[in-house]
Chain A
Amino acid sequence: MQVDSRHRFDNFIVGSANRLAVAAARAVAESPGSVYNPLFIYSGSGLGKTHLMGAIGNLAVQREATLSIEYLSLDDFVEQLHAAIGSGETELFKQRYQRVDILLIDDMQFLTGHRETQTELLRLLNAMQGGGRQIVMSSDRPPGEIADVDERLITRLSGGLIVDIGSPDYETRIAILRAKCEERGVRFWPGVVEELGRLEFSNVRELQGALNRLIAFQTLGGEQIKPENVLTVLGDLPEAKAVASRATPARAPAENEFQSFLTDVASAVAQHVQAWKVKIAEAIAYWTGEGYRTGQLERLLQESDPPANWESLLRGFGATVERLKALAQQATEVDAALGGHELFRDPERLRDAELLVDRALAGATPPPGPSAAFTRAGFEVSSSNQLAVKAADAVVAEPAERYNPLFIHGPSGVGKTHLLNAVGNELMDASGGASTVACVSAQLFMDELIAALQEGTVERWRARYRSADALLVDDVQFVAEKERTQEELFHVFNALHADGKQLVFCSDRPPRELDGFEDRLRSRFEGGLVVEMQSPDRVLREKLYARFLAATEHAAQPELLAYLAERPAASVREIIGTVNRLVAAADVSGTPLTAAVARAELEPDQAASARPSTPVAVRAAADTFFLDDEKVVWDWTDAPTRLIEELK
């Protein structure tokens, strides 16, 4: 709709009641979109809202002809929207309005109840404001009093400048009347216009109506109206009556009485209202409008005296909201649906929101779990390790109830890793796969931390472990002297322990011998149960040889088993090595694996001289160094070869 070209600033009479509105309107017309946006003008009907909006449009075009200006009443807007929805061209509708430079919407009060229009308008306002385009709206009441309107829309409407136009005062009325007389080319008897101006018309339209009546009376009646006749001519207009009755002196002071009472109350209120509470209430209104819970601030309002730190509390609230926003953003990255979670709207539950995000992040990349290869069923028990195994079984049966943390130590290769992973697998099976078991070597734990530090994702990394239902760490001695890793481990330990989660650690030495560890960590390791796994005893060795040989093509003859079990073995790994070696030797010679073959292979010297195998006894007595397959030279080259070598 086009702007009425008769509505201009130069024919708008400015008085005290509309000066602010006119100044604001002019500023908007001169630089649309950069000052008061949106501009909201409200006043009773007939006081010049439409004229002012038209004037904005006309002046803006006059200054810059290329501007696209749209003037319409809200009713038109609703109708267009409905038509667009009806014809399925809502996109077209949106685009059309997004191209407008200045949008002038009249009669905003009809917004009441039009939900879809409100939504559309809100969207449009956001888009236009974002694009630096000007919006001017008018209504017969301030935004807050338009019933049944979305709170968000109201805050948008109130976000720019709200100005009202009051009823014109006497001088303005006279100026309007004179301008109108001039426009119509009418001349009145001196004093007539002033007499008419004395009547307190609440709006200009009625004033104009009264003037029209006088003009008609004068032109049709053919005689000049005298000032004293004005009231008679207008006799039955209510305003004329009001003035007539106001002339009686009894009522005149009466009105002043109420007025002065009102003034007194106003000054008393202004004096006694607590500014700090007003500030907090404003903040509440703002944050509520933004969709955040404000219980924390609302409780502040209950205080009778300003808390000393109310300003910092207010700032802190803002900061918390910012943090929530960041968290919501993080959550959205992991899971779009999570971003809308209500926890992100309640600053009082920031911790919960953080946990939620932690969980979400942890869920996205779970911590390393136990290796499925190590099963509890595949773990052989004997007196050398039964204490550790019993403890492990207790942990599986009642996680975090009995031995928390469980600290298993023992020499290398006795099955700590196997047992640890087996516990992890059992724990997972016990929960039906629902629980997250973090099973990690200390080395990997540290490597991950370093990587996370590099990528700046320490929080996420930390969250992965803190969200676990159990944490099993192998070879914990590796983090000796690694202060940062120990610190993280310490915090994870505490967090999980406090949450009643099971912790199991493995190490090659007992906690008290862990050098390079902080006491706080060491003492925590000691806090649960410390068990030792020893080198396999005879019973275990026999079981293990039987098991490993069974896995080969060679039958485990009792004699062979008895022979092998007698041989000391520091670790399971050594037993595996021996089996592999015997199998290889048997395969090479193409003979079945017997005790004799084994003896020949393992004790070549003794086999040759048929002497009792004293070195075995020596080995058994010696420390484990000599029992290590890899470190002991088992086969010396024969004499001729050695001789040739030396000659070379």
Chain B
Amino acid sequence: MSLVNYATREITCKIVYYGPGRSGKTTNLHYVFAQVPDDRKGKMVSLATQTDRTLFFDFLPLDLGTISGFTTKFQLYTVPGQVYYQTTRKLVLQGADGVVFVADSQARQLEENIESFQDLHANLAEQGIDAREIPLVIQYNKQDLPRDLILTSAELSDALNFRSVPEFPADALHGPGVFETLRAISELVLKRLSSPARV
């Protein structure tokens, strides 16, 4: 899937929210969804289990209208975080223009974060994508939790962000950091319009 189609004047960005289970990927999407004015709202598709865990994936289409003559659409996806949904994760990751890694800031989740981050790299590599090339930002979610339960952004950064990609502390439930993250990944992705990605 190409990012920009000059012939039909369309820009379509696929952004995948990746991260360990319960880190707040779906919450990110819900918050974005809630802020979208009604006339731009697509239908958010969520395939969740009874306990509200993402089973397959969430899909939030964002119609941003016509920008510079291009019909611009963003597609936000989340992957199921649980380890055993490996196949679905790979599926959702296909054709992604950018990835947001949502890390769980809780100290006891550090291992899961690292494991999931490695999983992301493995899956990208499997699809022939160089993780250094694809636009990536990291979000340290749940920073609103009590200090003694969580790691600070700096600590998480040490553990995860060895490549110094843009990173954002966030509280996806209440909003802070959500749009900052989305904006950062969007800019990285759109930058590729002028230096088109290898397909």
Taking Cβ atoms with an 8 Å cutoff, the residues of A that contact B are: 254-255, 257-258, 260-262, 264-266, 268-274, 277-278, 280-281, 284-285, 298, 301, 304
Q: Would you list 5 pairs from A and B whose C-beta atoms are within 8 A, ordered by A residue?
A: A261-B179, A266-B64, A269-B67, A272-B193, A304-B196
Taking the closest CB of chain B, its distance from the CB of A132, in whole angstroms, is 30
A269 contacts which of B183, B190, B195 (Cβ < 8 Å)?
A: B190
Contact B187 A304 (CB under 8 A): no
The closest CB in chain B to the CB of A304 belongs to B196
**A265-B72, A278-B69 in contact; A257/B179 too (CB < 8 A)?**
yes
Taking the closest CB of chain A, its distance from the CB of B96, in whole angstroms, is 17
Give the interface SS of chain B, mostly helix, strand, loop or mixed.
mixed
Bound form: Cα–Cα A260–B186 in Å = 13
What B residues does A257 contact at CB under 8 A? 35, 175, 179
Contact B7 A281 (CB under 8 A): yes
Contact B35 A268 (CB under 8 A): no
Contact B72 A269 (CB under 8 A): yes
Bound form: Cα–Cα A264–B64 in Å = 11
Taking the closest CB of chain A, its distance from the CB of B182, in whole angstroms, is 6
What B residues does A258 contact at CB under 8 A? 32, 35-37, 179
Contact A269 B193 (CB under 8 A): yes
Besides A268-B190, A277-B6, A285-B7, 5 more A-B contacts (Cβ < 8 Å) are A262-B64, A264-B183, A264-B187, A269-B70, A281-B7
Contact B193 A274 (CB under 8 A): yes
Bound form: Cα–Cα A285–B9 in Å = 10
B160 at the interface (CB under 8 A from A): no
Contact A278 B196 (CB under 8 A): no
What A residues does B121 contact at CB under 8 A? none
B191 contacts which of A261, A268, A285 (Cβ < 8 Å)?
A: A268
The closest CB in chain A to the CB of B39 belongs to A202
B131 at the interface (CB under 8 A from A): no
Per-residue CB proximity of B104-119 to A under 8 Å, as 1/0?
Answer: 0000000000000000
**Residues 156 to 192 of chain B near chain A (Cβ within 8 Å):** 175, 179, 182-183, 186-187, 190-192
Give the interface SS of chain A, mostly helix, strand, loop or mixed.
helix
What A residues does B65 contact at CB under 8 A? 262
Contact A273 B193 (CB under 8 A): yes
Per-residue CB proximity of B121-150 to A under 8 Å, as 1/0?
Answer: 000000000000000000000000000000
The closest CB in chain A to the CB of B4 belongs to A273
Taking the closest CB of chain B, its distance from the CB of A255, in whole angstroms, is 7
What B residues does A278 contact at CB under 8 A? 6, 69
Contact B7 A284 (CB under 8 A): yes
Contact B68 A254 (CB under 8 A): no
Contact A261 B183 (CB under 8 A): yes
What A residues does B70 contact at CB under 8 A? 269, 273
What B residues does A274 contact at CB under 8 A? 6, 193-194
Contact B191 A272 (CB under 8 A): yes
Bound form: Cα–Cα A285–B5 in Å = 13
What B residues does A264 contact at CB under 8 A? 183, 186-187
A254 contacts which of B175, B191, B192 (Cβ < 8 Å)?
A: B175
What B residues does A284 contact at CB under 8 A? 7
Contact B190 A265 (CB under 8 A): yes
B99 at the interface (CB under 8 A from A): no
What A residues does B32 contact at CB under 8 A? 258
Taking the closest CB of chain A, its distance from the CB of B6, in whole angstroms, is 4
Taking the closest CB of chain B, its distance from the CB of A298, in whole angstroms, is 6
Contact A270 B68 (CB under 8 A): yes
Interface centre among A258, A260, A274, A304 (most CB of B within 10 A): A258
Contact A301 B37 (CB under 8 A): no
Taking the closest CB of chain B, its distance from the CB of A601, in whole angstroms, is 90
What B residues does A260 contact at CB under 8 A? 179
Interface centre among B9, B68, B72, B191 (most CB of A within 10 A): B68
Bound form: Cα–Cα A177–B191 in Å = 46
Bound form: Cα–Cα A264–B7 in Å = 24
What A residues does B34 contact at CB under 8 A? 254
Taking the closest CB of chain A, its distance from the CB of B170, in whole angstroms, is 13
B11 at the interface (CB under 8 A from A): yes
Contact B179 A298 (CB under 8 A): no
What A residues does B175 contact at CB under 8 A? 254, 257
B6 contacts which of A255, A271, A280, A304 (Cβ < 8 Å)?
A: A280
B37 contacts which of A255, A272, A280 (Cβ < 8 Å)?
A: A255
Bound form: Cα–Cα A79–B49 in Å = 55
What A residues does B37 contact at CB under 8 A? 255, 258
Taking the closest CB of chain B, its distance from the CB of A648, in whole angstroms, is 100
Bound form: Cα–Cα A322–B80 in Å = 57
**A265-B72, A277-B6, A304-B195 in contact; A272/B183 too (CB < 8 A)?**
no
What B residues does A271 contact at CB under 8 A? 190, 194
What A residues does B11 contact at CB under 8 A? 269, 273
Taking the closest CB of chain A, its distance from the CB of B181, in whole angstroms, is 11
B64 contacts which of A265, A280, A285, A304 (Cβ < 8 Å)?
A: A265
What B residues does A270 contact at CB under 8 A? 67-68
Bound form: Cα–Cα A304–B11 in Å = 16
B187 contacts which of A268, A273, A298 (Cβ < 8 Å)?
A: A268
**A258-B37, A264-B183 in contact; A301/B6 too (CB < 8 A)?**
yes
